[in-house]
Chains A and B, each alone.
Chain A
Amino acid sequence: GQNIDQPTEMTATEGAIVQINCTYQTSGFNGLFWYQQHAGEAPTFLSYNVLDGLEEKGRFSSFLSRSKGYSYLLLKELQMKDSASYLCAVRRKTGANNLFFGTGTRLTVIP
């Protein structure tokens, strides 16, 4: 089976850096995705990690440690528009790029 743990809510200040953690247990790891979802909108793809290490994409970076079952999403130079839910998902080994999602972390950016 699969299990993903993420903090339910976080608050951070505009211009700051925030780290959103995700720990997972899965039978057969095959990659980890991060999505961003603004309230009332569709989730949008942010990043993908399958090997250990840091992937950087502008203000957003994602880190993976497979041995620890741990990932984090790092958001730098926070902007008000970064207020959203951030979803961690692991790709299951079977089933057409099938993803198992965590419950998401709601980030609120304050001035």
Chain B
Amino acid sequence: DVKVTQSSRYLVKRTGEKVFLECVQDMDHENMFWYRQDPGLGLRLIYFSYDVKMKEKGDIPEGYSVSREKKERFSLILESASTNQTSMYLCASSFGARGGNQPQHFGDGTRLSIL
């Protein structure tokens, strides 16, 4: 079974802090993704990566950065947390070159509150 593990289920941080969200997958997937999920807005793509050290902006990258130093790990960084970044953050991974029908597998999410 594919396992995507996010380091925290719940996290509370203060405005202006630098926040790190970690995600690890155990299926040797090439692609990894970070989303945020907000009521009425659905899942929105922040950043994704298709290979180690590679990253691409998604639909809402402002205020975020990412790091992928190893294939299995993809980190989301909030450079200076703000209250509008309070949200549920979901990490996902998928195979890359094996065809477009490969589904994304999601972690359980991190509910982040910025005070």
Q: Which B residues are in CB contact (< 8 Å) with A45?
A: 103-105
Q: Report the nearest B residue to A101, measured CB to CB.
A: B43
C-beta contact mask, B21-61 vs A, less than 8 Å → 1, else 0?
Answer: 00000000011010100001111110011100000101100
By a CB distance below 8 angstroms, the chain B residues around A98 are 33, 45, 48, 58
Main secondary structure on A side of the interface with B: loop
Interface residue from A43, A48, A91 paired with B43 (Cβ < 8 Å): A43
Inter-chain contacts of A44 with B (CB < 8 A): 106
Of B41, B49, B101, B106, which one neighbours A48 at CB under 8 angstroms? B101
Report whether A96 and B101 are in contact in the complex, using a CB–CB cutoff of 8 Å: no
Which of A1-48 touch B at CB < 8 Å?
A: 30-31, 33, 41-45, 48
A-contacting residues, B60-115, CB 8 Å: 90, 94-96, 100-109
A91 touches B107 (CB 8 A): no
Contact A101:B42 (CB < 8 A) given known A41-B108, A95-B48, A95-B56:
yes
Bound form: Cα–Cα A42–B91 in Å: 9
What's the minimum C-beta distance from A17 to chain B, rounded to whole angstroms? 25
Give, as a whole number of angstroms, the nearest-CB distance from B49 to chain A: 8
Q: Which of B96, B100, B109 contacts A91 (CB 8 A)?
A: B100
Closest B residue to A34 by beta carbon equals B103
